[in-house]
Amino acid sequence: MTPEQLLREGLAAYGLPADAAAIEGLEEFSRRLLERNQVMNLTAITDPCDVAALHLLDCAYLLTAADFQGKSVVDVGTGAGFPGMPLRILEPNFDLTLLDSLGKRVDFLRETADAMGLRRVRCVHARAEEFARKHREQFDIATSRAVAQLNVLCELTLPLVKVGGVFLAMKSVESDPELQEARSAIAQLGGAVEDVTDYTIPGTEVTHRVVRIRKERPTPAGFPRAFARIKKAPLR
Ligand X SMILES: C[S@@+](CC[C@H](N)C(=O)[O-])C[C@H]1O[C@@H](n2cnc3c(N)ncnc32)[C@H](O)[C@@H]1O
CB of 77 to ligand X, least distance (A): 3
Cβ proximity to ligand X, 82 vs 139, nearer residue: 82
Cβ proximity to ligand X, 80 vs 166, nearer residue: 80
Cβ proximity to ligand X, 100 vs 140, nearer residue: 100
* Alpha carbon separation from 12 to 6, 78, 139, 231 (Å, rounded): 10, 25, 29, 41
Q: Does 101 bind ligand X (CB under 6 A)?
A: yes
Annotated binding site: 77, 82, 128-129, 145
CB of 196 to ligand X, least distance (A): 19
Q: Is the separation of the CB atoms in 151 and 177 below 8 Å?
A: no
Cβ proximity to ligand X, 79 vs 202, nearer residue: 79
Cβ proximity to ligand X, 66 vs 128, nearer residue: 128
| Interior angle at CA 199, CA 194 and CA 202, nearest 5 | 150
Subset of residues 105 to 164 that bind ligand X, contact rule: CB under 6 A: 105, 127-129, 145-147, 156
Which DSSP string corresponds to the chain? --HHHHHHHHHHHHT----HHHHHHHHHHHHHHHHHHTTS---S--SHHHIIIIIIIHHHGGGGTS--TT-EEEEET-TTTTTHHHHHHH--SSEEEEEES-HHHHHHHHHHHHHTT--SEEEEES-HHHHHHHSTT-EEEEEEESSS-HHHHHHHHGGGEEEEEEEEEEEETT-HHHHHHHHHHHHHTTEEEEEEEEEEPTTSS-EEEEEEEEE-SPPPTT-SPPHHHHHHS---
CB of 68 to ligand X, least distance (A): 17
Cβ proximity to ligand X, 15 vs 222, nearer residue: 222
Q: Does 32 bind ligand X (CB under 6 A)?
A: no
Q: Does 185 bind ligand X (CB under 6 A)?
A: no
Q: Does 77 bind ligand X (CB under 6 A)?
A: yes
Nearest position to ligand X, beta carbon: 79
Partners of 98 in the beta sheet? 75, 123
Report the residue from 49, 71, 72, 100 that binds ligand X according to the rule CB under 6 A.
100
Q: Does 235 bind ligand X (CB under 6 A)?
A: no
Annotated binding site for S-adenosyl-L-methionine: 77, 82, 128-129, 145
Q: Does 78 bind ligand X (CB under 6 A)?
A: yes
Contacts with ligand X, residue ranges (CB under 6 A) = 77-80, 82, 99-102, 105, 127-129, 145-147, 156, 227
